[in-house]
A and B are shown apart, each in its own frame.
Chain A
Amino acid sequence: MGSVDRAFSLPDALQIKGNPGTVLANAGHHWAIQLGLWPQSLDFLNTIHLNTLIMTWAGMALILLFAFLFTRKLALYPSNFQVVGESIFDLCRSITTSTGGKKGDTFLFYIGSLFVFILVANLMGQLPLRLIPLPQGELIAATGDFNVPAALAVFTVMMYFYFGIKKKGLSYFKHYIQPFPVFLPFNILEDFTRPFSLMLRLYANILVGELLAGIMLGAAPYVAPSMVICLELFVAIIQAYIFAVLSSVYIALLSAEDH
């Protein structure tokens, strides 16, 4: 106990074992392949998690398919598909207008795609895709992998920098010394804690759900996991909403006019 190399071995820690010889949940394992593209000093870029890649691309394909279905025949008296699409759009728009007011429409494209992607990626984790055998790991939700929430959080940081600088020009950087110049280190630190907290919240929530279903499988098969899955459907929606709301708040906050 206590040695660093053991403390950070995530894959072993996230394997939940049932009866001897069976593994109930395997959320920390990924189907990793190595690419030789990058030099040794950038070795972490060489590893690709193929199961996450599959789930991400499948999620994107689903989104594209539904976006096509929702917008195929637009009419004043909408069809059933169009009503669903419009209500999703209205939900995304309510997020941006409640945080950014009228200017919210300028970053609606980002918040909307963020919300829809995270929602689909979270919900796909509850499909029984784990039954598909892979060489390593399982097909868990794409957001249950550390890297996907991290990438989305970094996108949010890039977006609030982009909108802040676009709105205010170089005077955007004045907010680092507000209200007093003493706050400079804290304001710089905030640029790192914001994406970290966004990433950790989404990742940990989805991962807890994946592991909890495995633990409950050991406790009472069929009954207990289905309860957890019902809870997880709720958590998936809430987490997508929270991620979108917080991103929207950050963008609106940092591109707001000074008073």
Chain B
Amino acid sequence: MDAAAAGLISGPLAVGLASIGPGIGIGMLTAAYFNAVARQPEVQGNLLIYFFIPLAMVELLGLFGFITFILAKG
């Protein structure tokens, strides 16, 4: 594989690989949130803020992959 082909593949590969972890993480987070709300529907509003903060942190890992994509593509 020559360098140009490797450069073309590396960026999309970084995005794809970096999305696996956050995908699993967001799924688990959402499942836990729905479980909690199903068990006790009245806390839904209070839980929302505790749902979004870890969501933002998990999501950041996927965005690192996107930044790698930008930097590697040039």
Chain A residues packing against B (C-beta within 8 Å): 1-2, 6-10, 12-14, 95, 98-99, 197, 200-201, 204-205, 208, 238, 241-242, 245-246, 249
Contact = CB atoms under 8 A, between A and B. Distances in A.
Given A7-B71, A8-B74, A13-B73, A242 B52 contact: yes
B54 to A, nearest CB: 11
Which of B4, B7, B60, B72 has most A Cβ within 10 Å?
Answer: B60
Contact of B49 (A1, A14, A95, A238): A95
Contacts of B59: 201, 205
A17 to B, nearest CB: 12
Contacts of A208: 63, 66
A13 B49 contact: no
A246 B74 contact: no
B72 A7 contact: yes
A1 B4 contact: yes
Contacts of B67: 200, 204
B46 A9 contact: no
Contacts of B24: none
A232 B72 CA distance: 25
Contact of B52 (A7, A204, A245): A245
Interface string B24-63: 0000000000000000000000100100110111011001
Nearest to B15: A208
B63 A205 contact: yes
A99 B49 CA distance: 9
Contacts of B74: 6-10, 12-13
Nearest to B49: A98
